[in-house]
Chain A
């Protein structure tokens, strides 16, 4: 569910996206958007801080301090440790906004203190426009999460 604020061509438009409750702190930043999946082991060069998998839609892009807006989590369990290690080295995404994650991404976000939300009413990768500035809010237990996309 989302609603537009404004609507004139060229005007700044904010979209409020509601989602499931999330994990981690409230953040804002610049989004990196792609209809693709994610694994820290499969897709990233964690030394250079870029997407390194040639077939990934964000190949060559820096993920550092970006809010990643992607479809789902894929592959193995390493992301849980890797988010923590990347966070310690300050070469980590600022937040993760996904359509649906697997347990590993949620466990990793919880462990590393990285903001994460998922389960929107629509395809979140289509609702965002990149580069977009995002403001996220993690609500108290039991409440729904929300993400405000400022286009």
Chain B
């Protein structure tokens, strides 16, 4: 493949993988069963789209992916993009990117919750997943084996059917390194995200593997989703253990140290960092990660019979599969009756967040996603983190409550 026997596209893919594998001292390549490509056009830019278009100019047998390959959220939902201040130029670039990805044989799932909606990996399955939230959930809750695979590397894995064997493909890298003890249970998804943020900041490295002891009640999939995405966002962490809950037993690398206690005071202090009571509220976002069907139902319940303040925009982002289900079950109509927007196949921070803020005059944002408040600082937003119920109450009031 590296010699070009299977064409230039696969030669590029293998050359890229060899370069990355050598950097991480990978002994060989491991076959993967799935690839998941992050390829939103805000990240790709014109250069990235041109790169993809260059590859798919090759003959179909030379460019076709070798394993089932799916996509992370895109930058544009064509049904709502004008309402969000996005432009026709952005939509045109998105159209080109979609055409290129389809030409590889990629399945356009446009989701960061594929483990809830498409096909969950099983314990021991080697993967090339391209979203930090997807990787940490799959590695930890399900026992899958993936590194963070950026868009080019996930595409390379899709084209070769394998990935360099380093990091979380190896037992040695999956050993626990930092223990924490939970002394109070998070009460909602924003608090699970806050817990992930606290542990993530304490870890601060892709190569740390935290163990969270003392989780008394089994968290549901959405709680672990918000915990994991925040942990990956604040700490770049790709694997965690919760004894008795996550798929594998935690084995410490060396002697275990005394666990760091985390209780209600620490979680409240984390939330207070983002508090801004009384501020005019420009936009409320439920995304990052995309919402499950249960989360969509919770938003619908909280908005029933209420109207969002005219000065505030509410955006709910989910996967195409969940959006179709929400349409069919009447949840979308209930949410949009309040004035909120339900978008599919995008995630807020992957959708030209800076340009939307400039176009719409948004500054103050509120969300129940700890991951989102962490990301958006660099985009010029002032973000507040609170429960779904408080976010909805604030959207109706038009100010942060």
* Interface residues, chain A, with chain B CB atoms under 8 Å away: 20-23, 37, 41-45, 47, 52-56, 72-82, 84-85, 87-89, 100-104, 106-108, 110-111, 116, 141
In the complex, chain B residues whose CB is within 8 Å of the CB of A42: 374-375, 377-378
- 10 new A-B contacts, CB < 8 A, other than A52-B379, A85-B48, A88-B47, are A73-B236, A79-B150, A81-B44, A81-B48, A81-B152, A88-B45, A100-B206, A103-B167, A106-B20, A107-B149
In the complex, chain B residues whose CB is within 8 Å of the CB of A45: 354, 378
In the complex, chain A residues whose CB is within 8 Å of the CB of B44: 81, 85
CA distance A37 to B208 in the complex (A): 15
Contacting residue for B148 out of A21, A47, A87, A103, CB 8 A: A103
In the complex, chain B residues whose CB is within 8 Å of the CB of A80: 38, 150-153
A-B contact pairs, 5 of them (CB 8 A): A44-B378, A52-B380, A74-B233, A77-B148, A103-B147
In the complex, chain A residues whose CB is within 8 Å of the CB of B151: 77, 80-81
CA distance A37 to B43 in the complex (A): 19
> Shortest 4 CB-CB distances between A and B: which pairs?
A80-B150, A85-B45, A88-B47, A102-B206
Q: Min CB distance, A59 to chain B, in Å?
A: 9
In the complex, chain B residues whose CB is within 8 Å of the CB of A72: 204-206, 236
In the complex, chain A residues whose CB is within 8 Å of the CB of B152: 80-81, 84, 107-108, 111
In the complex, chain B residues whose CB is within 8 Å of the CB of A107: 16, 20, 149-150, 152-153
Is B349 in contact with chain A by the CB < 8 A criterion?
yes
Interface string of B345-374 (1 = CB under 8 A from A): 000011000100000000000000000001
* Interface residues, chain B, with chain A CB atoms under 8 Å away: 16, 19-20, 22-24, 38-40, 42-48, 51, 130-132, 147-153, 166-167, 204-207, 232-236, 349-350, 354, 374-375, 377-380
Q: Min CB distance, A131 to chain B, in Å?
A: 23
B16 x A111 contact (CB < 8 A): yes
Q: Min CB distance, A107 to chain B, in Å?
A: 4
In the complex, chain B residues whose CB is within 8 Å of the CB of A116: 23
A37 x B204 contact (CB < 8 A): yes
Majority DSSP secondary structure for residues of A touching B: mixed
CA distance A141 to B48 in the complex (A): 28
In the complex, chain A residues whose CB is within 8 Å of the CB of B131: 76-77
A110 x B20 contact (CB < 8 A): yes
In the complex, chain B residues whose CB is within 8 Å of the CB of A89: 45, 47
A21-B23, A41-B43, A75-B233 known; A103+B378 contact, CB < 8 A: no
B375 x A77 contact (CB < 8 A): no
A73-B236, A78-B43, A80-B153 known; A53+B38 contact, CB < 8 A: no
CA distance A45 to B378 in the complex (A): 7
B380 x A74 contact (CB < 8 A): no
CA distance A101 to B233 in the complex (A): 15
B375 x A100 contact (CB < 8 A): no
B149 x A77 contact (CB < 8 A): yes
In the complex, chain A residues whose CB is within 8 Å of the CB of B207: 100, 102
In the complex, chain B residues whose CB is within 8 Å of the CB of A82: 43, 45
A41 x B378 contact (CB < 8 A): yes
CA distance A89 to B44 in the complex (A): 12
Q: Min CB distance, A105 to chain B, in Å?
A: 9
Q: Min CB distance, A64 to chain B, in Å?
A: 16
B22 x A73 contact (CB < 8 A): no
